[in-house]
């Protein structure tokens, strides 16, 4: 019986396909058996992403680059120690509790004695703090204005040397007679502090 040529060709194709399929499967199994590296597909089967040596090296290089950037002055990485800019120290520790004023004769040549500590009222402490801060004052129309020294008790100075400030007297609804008189060119940093409890008839010297 003579086989048609087309049938013979078909049989040859089928044989070749079977041979390719057989040897292809054996080759994969043989590679794994001989310790070959699993393909990305087989690695993904176990829930682990495939990672090549190139990607590992790239991650290492990127980490080193980040560390170097953080070490440089202009780097954008966050530094371990925050940078703080220096601020000038205030003339007085205004953020802390004020030490109670005490009578001190800092200018023995002016003829004004030191105050007795027991006559310095606690109500002068907030006034001192307001003076250091430059206001606002409880009596803005009078506090911080020029004290003329018309009584002549304090040493003679230039016109704007002395300034007066009201010290409240508990129980009164007006300014009363208590005052602080400061002397100096700077309102917030006086050279000398005077106190009067009788509306400028007498003075004593203190230091805050």
Q: Give the catalytic positions in this structure.
A: 164, 199
Phi and psi for 166 in degrees, rounded to 5?
-80, 135
Question: Are the C-beta atoms of 75 and 69 separated by less than 8 Å?
Answer: yes
In terms of Cβ atoms closer than 10 Å to its own Cβ (0-12, 13-18, 19+), residue 180 is buried
Radius of gyration of the chain from Cα atoms? 47
CA gap 103, 89 in Å, rounded: 26
Q: How many CB atoms lie within 10 A of CB 170?
A: 8
DSSP H stretches of helix in 78-123: none
């Amino acid at each position: 019986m003579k086989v048609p040529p087309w049938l013979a060709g078909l049989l040859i194709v089928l044989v070749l396909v079977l041979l390719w399929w057989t040897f292809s499967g054996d080759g994969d199994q043989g590679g794994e058996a001989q310790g070959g590296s699993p393909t990305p597909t087989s690695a993904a089967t176990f829930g682990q992403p495939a990672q090549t040596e190139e990607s590992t090296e790239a991650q290492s290089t990127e980490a080193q680059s980040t560390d170097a950037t953080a070490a440089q002055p202009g780097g954008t990485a966050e530094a371990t120690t925050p940078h703080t800019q220096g601020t000038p120290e205030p003339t007085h520790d205004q953020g802390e509790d004020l030490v109670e004023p005490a009578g001190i004769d800092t200018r023995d040549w002016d003829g004004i004695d030191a105050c007795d500590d027991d006559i310095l009222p606690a109500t002068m402490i907030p006034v001192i703090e307001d003076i250091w801060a430059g206001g606002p004052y409880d009596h803005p129309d009078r506090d911080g204005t020029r004290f003329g020294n018309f009584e002549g008790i304090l040493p003679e100075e230039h016109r704007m040397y002395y300034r007066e400030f009201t010290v409240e007297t508990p129980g009164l609804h007006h300014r009363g007679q208590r005052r602080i008189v400061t002397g100096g060119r700077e309102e917030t940093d006086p050279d000398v502090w005077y106190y009067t409890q009788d509306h400028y008839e007498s003075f004593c010297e203190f230091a805050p």
